[in-house]
Structure 1
Amino acid sequence: MAGRIPRSFIDDLLVRVDIVDLVDSYVPLKKSGSSYVARCPFHTEKTPSFAVTRNKQLYHCFGCGVGGNAISFLMDYSHLDFVEAVEGLADFAGVSVPRESGGTPVKKNNTSEVFQVLEQVAGFYIQQLRENETAKAAVAYLKSRGLSGEVAQEFQLGYAPDRWDALLKRFNAQQLIDAGLAISKESGSVYDRFRGRVVFPIRDRRGRVLGFGGRVLDDSLPKYLNSPETTVFHKGREVYGLYELLAKNSKPERIIVVEGYMDVIALAQFGVGYAVATLGTATSKEHLELLFRFTSEVVFCFDGDKAGREASWRAVLSAFPSLRDGRQVKIMQMPMGVDPDTFVRDRGLQEFEHGVMSAQALSEFFFERLSNGLNLDGMEGRASLVNKAKAYLQTLPNGVFQELMLEKLKALSKIDKLDFLEKPTTLKHLRHKQQQEDTKLSPIRLAITLLLQNPALIIEFEKKQVQWPMLDFPGIALLKKIVEIIEQHPDINLPRLLEHFRGKDEEKYIKIMMNHDFCISGDEIAEEFSGAIDRLINLGREQRLDELIEKERVSGLALHEQKELLSMLASRI
């Protein structure tokens, strides 16, 4: 549904949902003092360092540093974007998400219009494949690849007529440009991007068309052409075939990653409905995190040539940061000169699935590749292996798999004492370290942190009658912004405050400050905050005094500045 989600609804949703109940539905929590604790779901640990606080409505891990409100948790845990997380939280609360409409002019390149024109063009391409006389070559090509009408319909295959203006005659030119479907030259000419090609709509997991891939029907180049990056299409974060896969099985046992559109479709045609393909880019951490949201096992199955072997290696290295315990990556290598499409056609479903089940484990593939060309009987070869493996193993999340990979490296290198992996720190030590740093907080950081965590302190702030022009040093702009937000929303709390900074430059800093655990009792918070504001005011006065004295020495003061200087000097007596 088009339209922006009202901020008032998001604020109300954060009040309606208790974060303890939400997190406990994903990660079982145990009561510990005023907080609820668990082993962190975002990194592997032996001692619980993940805490959820009901009175703050926040979660925070003292081990890996993640933290935020209920929306942040769903984004982090389920790898959702902001809108999807709000929708998920609304589902948890049992309410529907309203959308704003009207009131502001619609920009030509807004997301809803881009999605709308992409959907309409997909329908046009499907119609052309069925009805256009010039599409006979496209139909013949698809039949030659053994595709049935049912699988073509499932993947919404279409045909882009071999004309420069097939779309331009039917759709708005600027909308086509914004959607990546038309190309605009500096000369002012505009023409269709896809011409004379079989087209493959690329859909996200919600079924929305994001862009297209197109394949030529002759020997011209490029053989495959993809939509460019647009406001809705980001190649590094999407995979082809995921929507179709999830429509059949929302929680597949494994997902196969292949290279091309036709590999995905051919495998689906032969009964392997759990394959996806990256979109002309190398497999990335973002791709892996997306897939691990739906399965615990990913199998790379690339073409049986030199490029395919290199793609497998790069994909394995990209997977390392995502390999938390419980996740598994395997590599199914095709015979030389064979791709998944031809393999399943020539050898059948049974042999292909046997290959999937017997695919090589990531650990074996990794050390086999790394050891290639090294003489492990010699000291130099073993040392080289350790040096090569070290950087990769350090990117693995702490856990059993990381420890087993280290043990494997020790066995191969015959070196028992390898201790380059980061050791986890205990929650008690982390809290003690943070408490020691309380005394190091500057007045501005102390004021911002206390006000963030206790918006009711705005009463203390308003007593001070702060003159903002007098406070001209780093951090004041952020403090002023927080004060203005709280004044506009007197009943606001920290989780709702966080939403005002989501996606802004200050968000990272806000997250650090909101999770700071003070060694200050409840009775002393107002006094500490008041003292920090007083110190800021005094710093501002001293800074202004120094400016006036320096100006008087260099160029002299205006009459009003002389009066200001005398007044400030008199107040110091």
Structure 2
Amino acid sequence: MIFYYKKISKFLIKEILDKTNLLNLIKSKISVKKVGNSFFSLCPFHKERKPSFSINKIDKFYYCFGCGISGNSIKFLMDFNKLSFIESIKELSLINNINIDLKEKNINNKNIKYIKLLEEISHIYYENLRKKFNEKLKTFFIIKKWSFSIIKKFNIGYSSNNIISNLFINNKEKLLLLEKLSIIKKINNKYIDILNNRIIFPISNNYGDIISFGGRTLINDKYKYINCSNNFLFKKRYTLYGLDKILNKNNFVEKLLIVEGYSDVISLTNFGINFSIASLGTSLTYEHIKIIFKITNNIIFCYDSDIPGIKSYYRILIKIINFITDEKVVKFIKLPNNEDPDSFIRKFGVNEFNKFINNSKNFYDLLFEFIKKDIYISDINGKIKFIKKILFYTNRIPGNLTKKLIKKELISKLLLTNRLNLLKVINYNFNYKKHKLTILQKIISLLLQNIKLYRLFYIPYNIKCMYFNFKLLINIVDLCKKNNNINFNKIIYLHKYNYLYSYLYFLYKIDDNIINYKILDEIFLEILNKFYILFLKKIQKYLIYKSKKNDLNKYEKKKIWLLNIELSKLSL
């Protein structure tokens, strides 16, 4: 029997938050000190020497001035104890003696009829596999070495002869539901199964409810594997295949092995490796990363050794680097050519596969490899380019200790024994004929050289900045928006007879050889984001100074709250 959670009312959440003593809750987990009228602690979510984790006893809100994390008592338990929202509500209700009944079978739940129908469809596929176990299917499962026990564990089925469409041909209501769930589709007034003539893999959410299906062809088809399309139950960017099997045993695990597809997870489980999940392709999303890091601190990626698989590692690195705190471990496995986890473990066995797990590469080693490919580092200019690229990425790492150790590793890799010389190289930043640019000048320079970047420009939190360069930047962006065909020559012509002519020309001519134009959009957004963070922190610092003197008005109190939220968003 599957249970469904009731919708939790806002009144219940408010009651829990009102009754919870946030200060006492945090004190039960970490050491807290009173400083004046405020309470501070070393942040439990990042490494630091001086306390920057503040707790507002009255407003029941915490905020870290170091890493930007913030929230209420529910959020604290979710982040600190790695609990789900429901689990946090349960724990706080027990602390506060609030009687709630969250878990019950709710027949009025709007999604139950769809989930029940999907369970029924899964059973039909499973039974059809047993009935239609022909030579093709037999050969497939023998090659895969999948026993009936593993088939049953993952509810593997088979679709043939448009079984679902034909079975419900006289049930219009169910046909419409199945069409909405992308299980069937209508072509020339006739319904057909989307996954017809394929081996079927049910896809479940974290609670074990079936939300969709994937299929593998047994014939030469353009697409070997396909999933049903996204719908209101199934969102691929939030779904990790096999995760429900792991969460069924434990909410937090020692490590997770991330692979590409269903077959990889099933074969690895078949050989006793019970900590693998699949991202359903090579596209790992930010949502996937957040989900994974709530379950474990130790991630190992093992994608196929083909070109798409190896290329995806670089894309994953660029995303995941923003989440690597000091307690997080991220590693990558490179299998031999033309191998994937499924084929490798079947050919060479679990012991050989475990050797690859034990010898997996740290994320920074892989990052060095990717960047080193395009740069000749035998001369000093190559070393400068290499270091700048490495620092562009490593400076995004939230873990301060991890960041420092990677920089030390950088020294040893480049055989740079003179630390002072390295620091000079690191501090080299957009210099041109001894002119060191401000962060706003860097942004304007990039924009003038690449006009299309104006489309990425944004202003968070309704910033009202009176800096000369910021006003100039706004004017240039406005010009670009009004004229799609504008270029630097047209911009400079408009200022031909005023003082801005030579200044704009100077910024345009600055040549920064470090920039990788393949990731120019990311560089522009990174620098723009950095400016906003620095600017907002200046305002925040001033407001905190005023708050210590109890000199904040209502508007400023609200402003500091919104500033904290905006800074936490920008720092992600």
Amino acid across the alignment from 1:416: L
Alpha-carbon distance change, 180 to 79 in structure 1, aligned in 2, over 3 angstroms: farther
Q: For the residues of structure 2 that align with 1:398 and 1:157, how far apart are their CA atoms?
A: 42
The residue matched to 2:62 in structure 1 has which SS?
A: strand
Kindly report which structure 2 residues correspond to 1:292-441, keeping only aligned pairs within 5 A, or say none.
292-412=293-413, 414=416, 415-417=422-424, 418-419=426-427, 432-435=541-544
* CA distance in 1 between partners of 2:71 and 2:147 (Å): 49
1:63 aligns with 2:66: yes
Q: What letter is aligned with 2:423?
A: D
Q: 1:296 to 1:99 in 2, by over 3 A?
A: closer
Residue equivalent to 2:203: 202
- What residue is the counterpart of 2:253 in the other structure? 252
Paired residue for 1:495? Answer: none
CA distance change for structure 1 residues 449 and 333 in 2, over 3 Å: closer, same or farther?
closer
Q: Describe the shift of the 1:210–1:18 C-alpha distance in structure 2 as closer, same or farther (beyond 3 A).
A: farther
Tell me which of 18, 22, 35 is aligned to 2:21.
18
- Rounded to whole Å, the distance in 2 between the matches of 1:144 and 1:230 is 33
1:225 and 1:22, CA in 2 relative to 1: closer, same or farther beyond 3 A?
farther
Change in CA separation of 1:118 and 1:52 when aligned onto 2, cut-off 3 Å: farther
> Which residue does 2:115 correspond to in 1?
115
The residue that corresponds to 1:445 in the other structure is 555
**Is 1:2–1:112's contact at 8 Å kept on the other side of the alignment?**
no
The Cα of 1:92 is off from its aligned counterpart by: 5.5
CA contact (8 A) 2:543 2:552 kept: no
Is 1:155–1:244's contact at 8 Å kept on the other side of the alignment? no
Report the counterpart of residue 53 of structure 1 in structure 2. Answer: 56
Deviation string, structure 1 residues 220-274 (Cα, Å, up to 9, x no partner): 2321111222222221222111122333555432211111111111011111111
Within 2, Cα distance between the matches of 1:80 and 1:230?
A: 27
Output the CA distance in 2 between the equivalents of 1:42 and 1:202.
33
Instruction: Using structure 2 for the length normalisation, give the TM-score.
Output: 0.69
Report the alpha carbon displacement of residue 165 of structure 1 after superposing the two structures with TM. Answer: 0.7
Q: In the alignment, which residue of structure 2 is the partner of 1:155?
A: 154
What is the distance in 1 between the residues matched to 2:412 and 2:190? 64
Determine the structure 1 residue equivalent to 2:129: 129
Residue 8 of structure 2 is aligned to residue 9 of structure 1: no
In 2: Cα distance, 1:92 partner to 1:120 partner: 40
Map of 1:176 onto structure 2: 178
Superposed displacement of residue 126, structure 1: 2.2
Deviation of 1:7 (Å): 2.5
- SS of equivalent to 1:257: strand
Q: Specify the alignment match of 2:445 in structure 1.
A: none
Check conservation: 1:323, 1:397, Cα contact below 8 A: yes
- In structure 1, the residue matched to 2:228 is 227
Give the CA deviation at 1:119.
Answer: 2.8
From 70, 73, 76, give the equivalent of 2:76.
Answer: 73
Secondary structure of the 1:416 match is: helix
Q: Normalising by the residue count of structure 1, what TM-score does the alignment of the two structures yield?
A: 0.69
1:248–1:273 Cα contact (<8 Å) kept:
no
**Superposition deviation, residue 84 in structure 1:** 5.8
The 2-side partners of 1:78 and 1:286 are apart by 19
Amino acid across the alignment from 1:314: R
Q: Which moved more, 1:310-319 or 1:15-24?
A: 15-24
- Does the C-alpha gap of structure 1 residues 243 and 194 become closer, same or farther in structure 2, counting only changes over 3 Å? same
Is this contact kept in 2: 1:259–1:278, CA < 8 A?
yes
Deviation (angstroms), 1:353? 0.8
* Contact kept? 2:206, 2:243, Cα under 8 Å: yes
* C-alpha distance 446-309 of structure 1, shift in aligned 2 (>3 A): closer
Deviations 1:525-572 (A, max 9, x none): xxxxxxxxxxxxxxxxxxxxxxxxxxxxxxxxxxxxxxxxxxxxxxxx
Deviation string, structure 1 residues 61-114 (Cα, Å, up to 9, x no partner): 2233332322333455567775565355446556564469999x979xx44443
Q: Percent identity?
A: 25
RMSD: 3.9
Q: Deviations over 1:455-488 (max 9, x none)?
A: xxxxxxxxxxxxxxxxxxxxxxxxxxxxxxxxxx
The amino acid across from 2:146 in the alignment is L
Aligned to 1:265: 266
Contact 2:67–2:398 at 8 Å: present in 1 too?
no
Partner of 1:215: 216
CA distance in 2, matches of 1:40, 1:376: 39
Measure how far apart 1:214 and its partner are: 0.9
**Residues 24 and 112 of structure 1: CA distance in aligned 2, closer, same or farther (over 3 Å):** farther
- How far apart in 2 are the matches of 1:126 and 1:222? 22
**C-alpha separation in 1, matches of 2:260 and 2:279:** 6
Cα distance in 2 between the residues matched to 1:315 and 1:512? 26
| 8 Å CA contact 2:364, 2:406 repeated in 1 | yes
CA, structure 1 residues 442+293, in 2 after alignment: closer, same or farther (shift >3 Å)? Answer: closer
The CA distance in 2 between the partners of 1:25 and 1:179, in whole Å, is: 46
Whether contact under 8 Å (1:68, 1:511) holds in the other structure is: no
Q: Which amino acid aligns with 1:176?
A: L
Query: Shift of residue 58 of structure 1?
Result: 1.4
Q: Return 5+ residue gaps in structure 1 as ranges.
A: 454-507, 514-573
Q: Note closer, same or farther for the CA distance 1:308–1:275 as it changes in structure 2 (3 Å cut).
A: same
SS in 2 for 1:374: coil
- Deviation per CA, 1:500-528: give whole Å up to 9, x if none: xxxxxxxx789569xxxxxxxxxxxxxxx
**What secondary structure sits across from 1:20 in the alignment?**
helix
What amino acid is the match of 1:47? K
SS in 2 for 1:253: coil
Q: Distance in 1 between matches of 2:99 and 2:167?
A: 37
Which residue number corresponds to residue 489 of structure 1?
none
Q: How big is the shift at 1:287?
A: 1.9
Structure 1 contact 285–322 (Cα < 8 Å) conserved: no
Matches of 2:539 and 2:259 in 1, distance apart?
A: 43
Change beyond 3 A, Cα 1:320–1:106: same
Q: Compare 138-147 and 378-387 and name the one that shifted more.
A: 138-147
**What SS does the aligned partner of 1:221 have?**
coil
Looking at structure 2, the residues matched to 181 and 96 of structure 1 have their Cα atoms a distance apart, in angstroms, of 41
Q: Secondary structure at the match of 2:240?
A: coil
Local SS of the residue matching 1:165: helix
Q: In the TM superposition, what is the alpha-carbon distance from 1:386 to its structure 2 partner? A: 2.2
Which structure has the larger Rg?
1
> How far apart are the structure 2 equivalents of 1:88 and 1:213?
36
SS of corresponding position for 1:293: helix
* Secondary structure of the structure 2 residue equivalent to 1:212: strand
Does the CA contact (< 8 Å) of 2:52 and 2:66 recur in 1?
Answer: yes
1:52 shift after superposition:
2.0
CA contact (8 A) 2:68 2:564 kept: no
